[in-house]
A and B are shown apart, each in its own frame.
Chain A
Amino acid sequence: GQNIDQPTEMTATEGAIVQINCTYQTSGFNGLFWYQQHAGEAPTFLSYNVLDGLEEKGRFSSFLSRSKGYSYLLLKELQMKDSASYLCAVNTGFQKLVFGTGTRLLVSP
């Protein structure tokens, strides 16, 4: 079976740091993706982890621990435009992605 868990909703303040967690149990693992999705729009690619450790890309960082089946997305210096849903997805093989249900992040002034 495939199971990917993320918190349903989080709130944070502009300028703060927020960490969105993702735990997974899947039949295969060929990497983990994070996507951002604004309401009414398509998901857009944020980050990719296939090896353990932290990948940093500007204000966004993503961490992976394969032994723990755990990842997080770290957003720094939050801006109002970061209000969106954040989707965790595991590549289970042959580019087949299994998605979590997403975390809705609300950034307030």
Chain B
Amino acid sequence: DAGITQSPRHKVTETGTPVTLRCHQTENHRYMYWYRQDPGHGLRLIHYSYGVKDTDKGEVSDGYSVSRSKTEDFLLTLESATSSQTSVYFCAITPGRTSSYNEQFFGPGTRLTVL
């Protein structure tokens, strides 16, 4: 399972509140990603990171920020949650040189509901 955990696994919050989702990996992988998955849209990239303090925006980054102060943790923050951010959030890693294909491995997901 590439040693990826996400917390919390489920969260219900109210519009306007800040929310932080955590992705933690135990195998020192350099590349990490945050996606959201919604019916009719598939998986869409929010932000990604190529290393500590090296992050960049993906396709749907508005309303989200990220931080990576340690290799093992990639945090996704919704500064002021909106109902449109109700979704399932997946973290992913790419093993890089240890993989033949550079495929991405996904964490178990966080189901976020914004009321």
Contacts and interface: CB of A to CB of B under 8 A. Distances in A.
Contacts of B105: 45
Contacts of B59: 2, 98
Given A31-B101, A33-B103, A42-B109, A95 B31 contact: yes
Contacts of B43: 43, 87, 89, 97, 99
Interface string A19-45: 000000000000101000000011111
Q: Which of A45, A87, A97, A102 has the most CB of B within 10 A?
A: A97
A101 interface: yes
B106 A42 contact: yes
B45 A96 contact: yes
Contacts of A96: 45, 48, 58
Residue with the highest number of chain B CB atoms closer than 10 Å, among A2, A43, A100: A43
B107 A42 contact: yes
Interface in B2-19: none
Interface string A54-68: 000000000000000
A70 interface: no
A97 B104 contact: yes
27 contacts: A2-B59, A33-B103, A41-B108, A41-B109, A42-B90, A42-B106, A42-B107, A42-B109, A45-B103, A45-B104, A48-B103, A89-B43, A94-B50, A95-B48, A95-B94, A95-B102, A95-B104, A96-B45, A96-B48, A97-B43, A98-B45, A98-B59, A99-B43, A99-B44, A100-B42, A101-B40, A101-B42
Given A95-B48, A96-B58, A98-B45, 18 more contacts: A41-B108, A41-B109, A42-B107, A42-B108, A43-B43, A43-B90, A43-B106, A45-B101, A45-B104, A45-B105, A87-B43, A89-B43, A95-B31, A98-B59, A99-B43, A101-B40, A101-B42, A102-B42
